[in-house]
Amino acid sequence: MESHILLSATSDSTEARTAAASLVASLRIELDSVTNTQQMDMLRLAGLTDKRSEAFDLMSSFLTKMQGSQSSIIGNMRSTPVSLGTVQWDSAAITGSFNLTGVTDGEHHLILSFDDIGLTVVAAVTVQRNELAATGGELSPALWVGAALLVLGAGALIGSSLRTRRRTRV
């Protein structure tokens, strides 16, 4: 096992003093590095917290604005412009519907314009109208035979219990 110079030196040794000073200097460098890293992490967290607070305030303001508002909502798709129609917004109740039949498959930008309250919402959307996957399978003859045997077995049980009842009554 290798021994450190501070463990084997005497207290008045110049080697020990030099090694101790070197060790203290390297510890100070490590401490400064860790302190700087922690400070940078705290600054990043403070920035993220500020952004979260701003987003929360914006959403709260939006929800307050939308709860008591009335507006016509005009919908459009962009890439190939397609008018989707207009629906009515009245205190969170929507009447009407958008017509999406003219929208082709692919990536688009959905634009909802709340004209009466001066709000426009743009969102990237992907339209994909694939046929539904076939979830069933073909019934094999073994399944038909199994079902028939179950029905015959149930019939036999019911028939035997009816015969037993008739015999006990007579």
Q: Where exactly are the structural domains of the chain?
A: 11-78, 81-127
Please report the pLDDT score of residue 29 as a whole number: 92
Burial class (CB in 10 A: 0-12, 13-18, 19+), 77: buried
Closest CA to 113 of 87, 95, 90, 91: 87
Task: Please state the rounded mean pLDDT for residues 91-103.
Answer: 80
Segment 32-78, tens digit of pLDDT: 999 998 999 888 888 888 888 888 888 877 777 777 777 777 777 77
Closest CA to 108 of 86, 71, 59, 75: 75
Contact 127, 106 (CB under 8 A): yes
Please report the pLDDT score of residue 9 as a whole number: 61
Which structure tokens are listed for 152?
């015959």
Contact 99, 87 (CB under 8 A): no
Which structure tokens are listed for 89?
């917004």
Segment 102-159, tens digit of pLDDT: 888 888 888 888 777 777 888 888 888 776 666 666 667 777 777 777 877 777 778 7
Please report the pLDDT score of residue 135 as a whole number: 65
d(CA 123, CA 21): 62
Query: Is the confidence at residue 1, as pLDDT, over 60?
Result: no
Please report the pLDDT score of residue 53 as a whole number: 84
Please report the pLDDT score of residue 70 as a whole number: 74
Query: Helix (H, G, I), strand (E, B), or coil: what is residue 124?
Result: strand
Query: Is the confidence at residue 22, as pLDDT, over 80?
Result: yes
Q: Structure pTM?
A: 0.38
Which structure tokens are listed for 61?
């303001």
